[in-house]
Structure 1
Amino acid sequence: MPVTTTYPGVYVSEIPSGVRTITGVATSITAFIGRTLRGPTDEPISISSYADFERRFGGLWAESSLGYAVRDFYRNGGSQAVIVRLFGVAPPPPPADPNAPPAPPPVAPHASLIVSGITLEAQDPGSWGNQLRARIDWNVRPAPGTSTPDPDLFNLAVRDGQTGQVELIRNVSAKEGHPRHVTKVLLNESRLVQTKGAVPTGRPGKQPELVTGQTDIWSDTKTDGTKVDPPSSIAVAADGPNKGTVDDGVDLGSADFIGPNMQTNKRGLYALEKADLFNILCIPPYLDDDVEADLIAEAAVYCEQRRSMILIDPRTTWVDKDTAKNGIPGLGTLSKNAAVFFPRLRQPDPMRENQVGDFVPCGAVAGIFARTDTNRGVWKAPAGLDATLVGVPELAVPLTDGEIGELNPRGINALRSLPAAGRVVWGARTLQGNDQLASEWKYIPVRRTALYIEESLYRGTQWVVFEPNDEPLWSQIRLNLGAFMQNLFRQGAFQGKTPADAYFVKCDKETTTQNDIDLGIVNIVVGFAPLKPAEFVILQIQQIAGQIQA
């Protein structure tokens, strides 16, 4: 900034350097979409461990393959995941009168409970809410200016019977207009319940401490089988007292992901619009153990828009290499941002007394992507002897070298068993990897490196918008983007011995003409020479003939 000189002496002024460091984005944030036992619906929730998934979404569930995929993701090196829970609701029956207006869309049922006249509703739908219990006590803070408990306040304790967690909400009131009205406080502080309907005014009654024959303050039944009166709480169904219990919904269909108005309302697949970033998408099977082709096609298009990859699981009908080869057209996409892995994993199922079952590989493969990115970089193919499948004792279909030789040219990545390494990923091609397509995006690491650079530069050049469009701006762009690309070159992300061989950044009067300037456009051209995996290693061995001395 200009310095106003007022006195004789030395003035110091800081001059901006023009350096705006571009930070590379994460490369292996994996989004999982499907059914879970509990958790918010149509909301992307970030987790950093499988323990987080168990706490927030209920862990493994025999009715859904999503939990198993998340478990395999973390077993194999995954670090950050985004979970979107969907809840299947049976559609209403068609109206008897064909001219009648359409029925409103069905609503996912929430369990409710009544405590001292206050009706509480589970925050999230599902049967987990049937096990909620609540209690009220009056051990509250003193009223202002006194030493006696405030007569308008009470404490609300809610117990999650599924996890044993007790949530204690202190010093709330049912008085209208009170700054700690119970409805507002629960909305902001509770993960378990919210109020349902109007809250009766006045201080609600409190539950007694343990009574004779009651072993647990959260139990409504005494040891002799009689009921505690008054009970700690009464669990009721969402449609009224004692009308049954809330269930976990019905099986999902593609309409629950990509149905009408889903994108507009940011629901289903498009709930990921509320997530800042994800790099890999997994949709574990939800219907007859296969994901419908129309959903895969739509999800692949969405991944291209979000600069991410989708990992597609093999179909249940892929029982050998021939059915796999012939099944590619049935997947619904040949996107450059999609990859398929075959066969399925054979693992013991703890939800079925450890009986061995077949599980989809998308979660485990996504974990290997994350592990490889951490150890080597996104430009390294997530395959080979280091890409071992942790927790996978067996594969559903054993493959030989010859069979893999038929699958690989079709763009199908094989999972195989090797004597020393165990079960490994033995392929690194996108669905554009079919040799007949001759695509420049044949390999997964090449495509993922491009997506990484695109997303990083997209986020790192937002400052350019509205800057004066002339040579000073162009030189700053070349400086900052060049520094980012040079850093990748030093890490070994590109081919070439010198930076000139490895990448270029061009932004000058040749890329941005006067007409572009008049239109408010600045054109930046970035090129890089990608590393491609050595798929075929050829050893040439010959016998040395005896030499005749001269």
Structure 2
Amino acid sequence: MPATLAHPGVYIEEIPSTARAITGVATSTTAFVGRAMHGPVDEPQTLGSYADFERVFGGLWKESRLGFAVRDFFNNGGGKAIVVRLYNTNTAPGAPPATAAIDANGLQLRAASPGSWGNSLRARIESVAASIATEAAAQLGVATTDLFNLRVRDTRTGVEEEFRNVTVVESARRIDRLLEAQSRLVRAPTPLVAPTAHAAPAPGTSVWVGNTANDAVGTPASDGLPLVANSFTGPGLAAAKKGLYALERVDLFNLLCIPPYLAASGIADQDVDPALVADAAKYCEDRRAFLIVDPPSTWIDVATAKAGITAFNTRSRNAAVYFPRLRQPNPLRDGLIDTFSPCGAVAGVMARTDASRGVWKAPAGLEAALNGLSGLSVPLTDSENGELNPLGLNCLRNFPAAGNIVWGARTLRGDDRLASEWKYIPIRRLALFIEETLFRGTQWVVFEPNDEPLWAQIRLNVGAFMHSLFIDGAFQGATPREAYFVKCSHETTTQTDIDNGIVNVEVGFAPLKPAEFVVIKIQQIALQAQV
């Protein structure tokens, strides 16, 4: 009712609606964790293309398979990736430091991130023109002698940055804060020391030729040691939100890929520690995400794959393994065919399938083509596929006309002997999608009066979301009553629950299970005589 009814007439009052739209969350945001050439360490970076990965992390690198996995993700339909770079510090006595350092005529600079990439940096200090210095100094409240220009160049890539009218004294253009906010190449640690300008280069000579016109790295850095399991989940990393747990800084991710990082047979980056697979699967269960597991390099045929499926020490419903590995040209080896893990490509196929058909569609079949391959490391026949599929091991196959495709959709709970309700990937991922969406979409319920009006609102809003999925074809059943239910009433929430501040909501759905086996029955019939 209006607050004041002062005069006879008609009053208009707006009444808040009880309808609260529940919007589905993303289903294919993929997190990648591993080693990169450069870029922020233990800081998740959201990328929308492989070009973003090249810009932030340096692209393909012979010391890591991370870049190849990210490339395959985007090549196969991926749209949004979250990348966490890890760095294993080289702590051996006398080893180079993690970060390169430059003494730029008195101004101490260091590379913006660890790695030997910083060894190619050069820096140059230049004086500010007198006509500009007077006005700039007045605006900043500093002396003209406090101002200088800084130029930094990465001689490996040709990327150059320039910062004009900067200073080491307190002002809006103090160099350390400016570099922190704007530079991808260097930082200026405190305390700051005012530099002197470099000499002008010889006539006709570039300022980047020779050390008289600029300063090169004085303390070179290393790329650190290869990663180990403790680099991802070691002691203290969870509390510090580092390693794998740097993803705690991310609001949402749906798929997780950990490209191979362990050495095997003298070749770097071939495997993932089985203990890490188990830890990553557990973390995915906690975050309502799904882990894509790569086959070990020792799986060279069907027999070794069958024997090795138990080596992961997990049968998580939030994980799936794919076999065999991919064969692709390696640009870092003059295009020679090399072997790569399939996690990135499979994640891309999942993202592409989610976008075109929905998360309830199995990311497998003739539509689930793997792009950019020259072949598979182990060609599989139908009978060999038949040995692996019942064990919960998803196969990658090559079919005439269709090419290389994903030909399996089972979780690690998909072994027939386990008889699990979470046997199939699309059912598990659909459940995770519904859980995450309802978790986020019902936050408004907290602290509301716990009685029938609230329960009716919950039934209305959750029911509307579930019905939208039914309309989209996510559930089995011809009618909504057959496809799903939403319960929230005295039947689910007793007086004891109310007294304890609890409201119980029950949501059920009839999932669509993929047609794994298509049986066509053919028989002869006798010609019937016409009477």
> With structure 2 as the length reference, what TM-score do the two structures score?
0.94
Task: Give the Å deviation of 1:92.
Answer: 5.2
Counterpart among 188, 209, 217 of residue 207 in structure 2: 217
Which of the residues 252, 273, 281 maps onto 2:256? Answer: 281
Q: How far is the alpha carbon of 1:190 from its aligned partner?
A: 2.2
SS in 2 for 1:144: helix
The CA distance in 1 between the partners of 2:445 and 2:418, in whole Å, is 38
Out of 248, 251, 257, the residue aligned to residue 223 of structure 2 is 248
- Overall identity of the aligned pairs, in %: 58
Moved more, 11-20 or 426-435: 11-20
Q: What is the match of residue 59 of structure 2? A: 59
User: Please, which moves more after superposition, 8-17 or 24-33?
Assistant: 8-17
Distance 2:489 2:395 in 1: 46
Report matched runs for 1:45-444 at 5 Å. 45-91=45-91, 109-137=98-126, 138-139=128-129, 140=132, 142=135, 143-144=137-138, 150-175=144-169, 177-201=170-194, 204-212=195-203, 214=205, 216-220=206-210, 228-229=211-212, 231-237=213-219, 245-288=220-263, 289-444=270-425
Instruction: Give the letter aligned to residue 310 of structure 1.
Output: L
Give the C-alpha shift of residue 16 in structure 1.
Answer: 0.4
User: CA-to-partner distance for each residue in 1:350-402, whole Å, 9 max, x for gaps?
Assistant: 10111111110000000000000001000000000000110011100000000
Judged with a 3 Å threshold, the aligned counterparts in structure 2 of structure 1 residues 183 and 506 are, in CA distance, closer, same or farther, namely: same
Q: Where does structure 1 lack aligned partners over 5 or more consecutive residues?
A: 94-105, 221-227, 238-244
Letter in 1 for 2:292: L
Residue deviations 1:270-304 (CA, integer Å, cap 9, x gap): 01101111101100110121101111110000000
Contact 1:495 1:530 in 2 (8 A): yes
Equivalent residue for 1:492? 473
Equivalent position amino acid for 1:258 in 2: T
Summarize the Cα distance change of 1:494–1:233 in structure 2 as closer, same or farther, 3 Å threshold.
same
Call closer, same or farther: CA 1:6–1:116 in 2, change over 3 Å: farther
Is 2:22 the counterpart of 1:35?
no
User: Aligned-pair distance for 1:91?
Assistant: 4.2
Q: Kindly indicate whether residue 524 of structure 2 is the aligned counterpart of residue 530 of structure 1.
A: no
Kindly indicate whether residue 492 of structure 2 is the aligned counterpart of residue 511 of structure 1. Answer: yes
More helix per residue? 2
| Separation of aligned partners in 2, 1:360 and 1:8 | 77
How far the C-alpha of 1:123 sits from its partner, in A, is 1.4
Count of aligned residue pairs for this structure pair:
518
CA shift, 1:526, in A, is: 0.5
Deviation at 1:108, TM superposition (A): 6.5
Deviation, 1:187, is: 2.2
Q: Distance in 1 between matches of 2:78 and 2:166?
A: 41
Matched letter for residue 545 of structure 1: A
- Aligned counterparts of 1:377 and 1:108: Cα–Cα separation in 2: 48
- Could you list the runs of 5+ residues in structure 2 that have no partner in the other structure? 264-269
Q: Tell me if structure 1 keeps the 8 A contact 2:96–2:221.
A: no
Amino acid at match of 1:193: V
CA positional deviation for 1:246 = 1.0
Code of the aligned partner of 1:111: A
- Measured in 1, the distance between the counterparts of 2:139 and 2:186 equals 32
Distance in 1 (CA, whole Å) between partners of 2:509 and 2:139 is 72
What code does the residue aligned with 2:167 have? S
Q: 1:8 to 1:119 in 2, by over 3 A?
A: same
Partners of 2:19 and 2:165 lie apart in 1 by 52
The CA deviation string for residues 59-84 of structure 1, in whole angstroms up to 9 with x for no partner, is: 00111111111111011000000100
Deviation at 1:200, TM superposition (A): 1.8
Deviation string 1:510-535 (CA, Å, 9 cap, x unpaired) is 11111111111111111000001000
| Aligned partner of residue 4 in structure 1, secondary structure | coil
CA–CA separation in structure 2 for the residues paired with 1:332 and 1:89: 28
C-alpha displacement of 1:172: 1.8
**2 CA distance for matches of 1:547 and 1:322?**
52
Shift of 1:171: 2.5
Tell me if the contact between 2:90 and 2:98 (Cα under 8 Å) persists in the aligned partners: no
User: Closer, same or farther in 2 for the Cα pair 1:469/1:2, shift >3 Å?
Assistant: farther
Deviates most, 400-409 or 7-16: 7-16
Shift in CA distance, 206/395, structure 1 to aligned 2, threshold 3 Å = same
- Rounded to whole Å, the distance in 1 between the matches of 2:139 and 2:235 is 58
The letter for the 2-side match of 1:513 is T
Which segment drifts farther, 190-199 or 72-81?
Answer: 190-199
Structure 2: which amino acid aligns with 1:296?
V
Deviations 1:126-179 (A, max 9, x none): 011111122223144514389x9944322222222233222222322112x334
The Cα offsets for residues 45-100 of structure 1, whole Å up to 9 and x where unpaired, read as 1100000000100100111111111111011000000100001123457xxxxxxx
Q: 1:437 offset after TM fit, Å?
A: 0.2
State yes or no: 1:26 paired with 2:41: no
1:209 CA displacement: 4.2
